[in-house]
């Protein structure tokens, strides 16, 4: 959420941001409602003062006639006040609805584009594997090695359901343990955060109201989170953090759930796009300084790259175009890892910064060195998402006989096993 004063003074900038992000929003609508809000606020405050003044006069009345006149005046003001308070309540609701729909301003370096196809490649790492045989998909490899059961997964959980088995279970836990150990010396506080989260953190992080169709909702009105970012950002909601502790760096884990509402027909098989998964996330709160945000954005991107490099996977980093940014993101990088069976890169990590967009909505503040209250800036990045990362691991490390070489960094967490192969 942006400051209303900033919006009023920079409506052309907001219009340009909405256009670049391909978001339907007209700040003129908000400004018109804001004018009504300001007008009603001033009138309500004036009538409250008038009511208080008339009430004081009742007690100081010199006689009954004077007292009755003051009572009648209070009654009249009270009736008018109640009517305007009702109008103000409706206007405030409309104002708040429009306020949470205002897109954040993308950085000038964000490229124009109509979809993720317009994201621009910044760098690559490693080499594409060369096979002397026809490489197979992770689905076929995992079925042959009895690592997954997609049919029974669908029977148990429905569409996009899956069940990991045998060495795939060990591989999943090996990746998690490797990530925990890798981040241990980076100054991040590890946390396990809830998946079941109240509505306010989703509004605060920008996932509501626009993204509601992709969320699972409970009967109590809570939601299942699709990323550890949401509950992690809410950890400091409505708090004033100590500037001495900034930047606050958290590495958090949670199970995640997404409806994948906008992906009908895409990745309907396998482990790329599933409803239930788990995720490690980097989340940072820092001072309200653009240069600090940019520096930390590069840092968390490098942290994510380290994980993919350690796994020995070829990847590229792209900068997301305007249409591929969310409502609150100022800038975003995707790490896309090579998937041989598709002869394509697939997104496995995203890193973003938001300036004070999220912290303003979540009311996360700090006092600067001059004692002035400010909203923090926020950033987040995928550390690893499972089981998606298993796809490139298996496909890039396949052998002609159908066995899978285990990346060296995971061998210690696999009991020393260096290869996954069929049981004899």
| pLDDT tens column, 251-288 | 999 999 999 866 666 777 889 999 999 999 999 999 99
Lowest model confidence (mean pLDDT) among 23-32, 41-50, 62-71, 179-188: 62-71
* Among candidate residues 47, 68, 99, the one where a domain is terminated: 99
Average pLDDT in the 158-187 region?
95
Residue 8 inside a domain? The answer is yes
Please tell me whether residues 13 and 44 are part of one structural domain: yes
Please tell me whether residues 320 and 217 are part of one structural domain: yes
Please tell me whether residues 72 and 219 are part of one structural domain: no
Query: Regarding predicted confidence, which is higher, 71 or 209?
Result: 209
Please tell me whether residues 176 and 303 are part of one structural domain: yes
Candidates 160, 258, 361, 365; catalytic one: 258
Respond yes or no: is residue 388 known to be catalytic.
yes
Q: What is the mean pLDDT of the chain?
A: 93
- pLDDT at position 23: 95
pLDDT band at 141 (very low <50, low <70, confident <90, very high): very high
Q: β-strand 276-286 against 344-353: which pairing, if any?
A: unpaired
Query: Regarding predicted confidence, which is higher, 387 or 369?
Result: 387
Residue 109 inside a domain? The answer is no
- pLDDT at position 74: 66
- pLDDT at position 375: 98
Residue 107 inside a domain? The answer is no
* Among candidate residues 99, 133, 156, the one where a domain is terminated: 99
Candidates 84, 229, 299, 347; catalytic one: 347
Please tell me whether residues 92 and 124 are part of one structural domain: no
Residue 345 inside a domain? The answer is yes
* Among candidate residues 70, 99, 128, the one where a domain is terminated: 99
Residue 379 inside a domain? The answer is yes
Please tell me whether residues 81 and 188 are part of one structural domain: no
Domain residues for the domain of 43 are 4-99
Please tell me whether residues 60 and 185 are part of one structural domain: no
Respond yes or no: is residue 260 known to be catalytic.
no
Please tell me whether residues 276 and 351 are part of one structural domain: yes
Please tell me whether residues 324 and 287 are part of one structural domain: yes
Q: For residue range 317-358, what is the model confidence (pLDDT) as tens digits?
A: 999 999 999 999 999 999 999 999 999 999 999 999 999 999
Residue 194 inside a domain? The answer is yes
Candidates 251, 350, 359, 378; catalytic one: 350
Query: CA distances (Å), 183 to each of 178, 195, 300, 307, in order?
Result: 9, 22, 11, 10
- pLDDT at position 189: 96
Q: What is the CATH number of the domain that holds 84?
A: 1.10.287.40
Please tell me whether residues 37 and 130 are part of one structural domain: no
Respond yes or no: is residue 160 known to be catalytic.
no
Q: For residue range 373-422, what is the model confidence (pLDDT) as tens digits?
A: 999 999 999 999 999 999 999 999 999 999 999 999 999 999 999 999 98
Respond yes or no: is residue 365 known to be catalytic.
no
Residue 105 inside a domain? The answer is no
Please tell me whether residues 144 and 259 are part of one structural domain: yes
Residue 108 inside a domain? The answer is no
Is this prediction's pTM over 0.85?
yes
Q: What is the CATH number of the domain that holds 277?
A: 3.30.930.10
Please tell me whether residues 95 and 124 are part of one structural domain: no
Q: How many domains does the chain have?
A: 2
Respond yes or no: is residue 350 known to be catalytic.
yes
């Amino acid at each position: 959420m942006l400051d209303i004063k900033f919006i009023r003074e920079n409506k052309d900038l907001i219009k340009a941001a909405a256009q670049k992000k391909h978001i339907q929003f007209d700040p003129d609508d908000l400004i018109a409602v804001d004018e009504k809000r300001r007008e009603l606020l001033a009138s309500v405050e004036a009538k409250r003062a008038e009511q208080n003044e008339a009430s004081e006069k009742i007690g100081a009345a010199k006689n009954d006639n004077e007292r009755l006149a003051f009572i009648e005046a209070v009654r009249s003001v009270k009736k008018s006040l109640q009517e305007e308070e009702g109008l103000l309540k409706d206007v405030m609701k409309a104002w708040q609805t429009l306020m949470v729909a205002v897109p954040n301003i993308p950085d000038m370096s964000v490229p124009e584009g109509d979809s993720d196809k317009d994201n621009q490649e910044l760098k690559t790492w490693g080499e594409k594997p060369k096979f002397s045989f026809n490489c197979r998909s992770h689905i076929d490899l995992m079925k042959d090695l009895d690592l997954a059961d997609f049919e029974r997964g669908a029977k148990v959980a429905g569409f996009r359901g899956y069940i990991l088995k045998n060495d795939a279970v060990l591989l999943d836990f090996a990746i998690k343990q490797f990530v925990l150990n890798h981040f241990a010396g980076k100054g991040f506080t590890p946390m396990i955060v809830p998946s079941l989260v109240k509505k306010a953190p989703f509004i605060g992080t920008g996932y509501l109201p626009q993204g509601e169709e992709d969320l699972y909702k409970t009967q109590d009105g809570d939601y299942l989170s699709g990323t550890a970012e949401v509950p992690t950002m809410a950890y400091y909601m409505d708090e004033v953090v100590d500037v001495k502790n900034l930047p606050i760096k958290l590495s958090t884990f949670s199970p995640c759930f997404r409806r994948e509402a906008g992906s009908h027909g895409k990745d309907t098989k396998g482990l790329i796009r599933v409803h239930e998964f788990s995720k490690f996330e980097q989340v940072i709160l820092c001072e309200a300084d653009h240069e600090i945000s940019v520096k930390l954005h590069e840092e968390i991107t490098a942290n994510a790259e380290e994980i993919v490099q350690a796994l020995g996977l070829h990847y590229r980093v792209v900068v997301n175009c305007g249409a591929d940014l969310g409502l609150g993101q100022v800038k975003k990088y995707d790490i896309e890892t090579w998937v041989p069976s598709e002869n394509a890169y697939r997104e496995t990590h995203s890193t973003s910064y938001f300036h004070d967009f999220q912290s303003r909505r979540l009311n996360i503040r700090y006092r600067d060195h001059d004692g002035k209250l400010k909203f923090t800036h926020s950033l987040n990045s995928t550390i690893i998402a499972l089981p998606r990362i298993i796809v490139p691991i298996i496909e890039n490390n396949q052998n002609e006989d159908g066995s899978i070489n285990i990346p060296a960094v995971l061998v210690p967490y696999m009991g020393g096993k260096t290869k996954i192969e069929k049981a004899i």
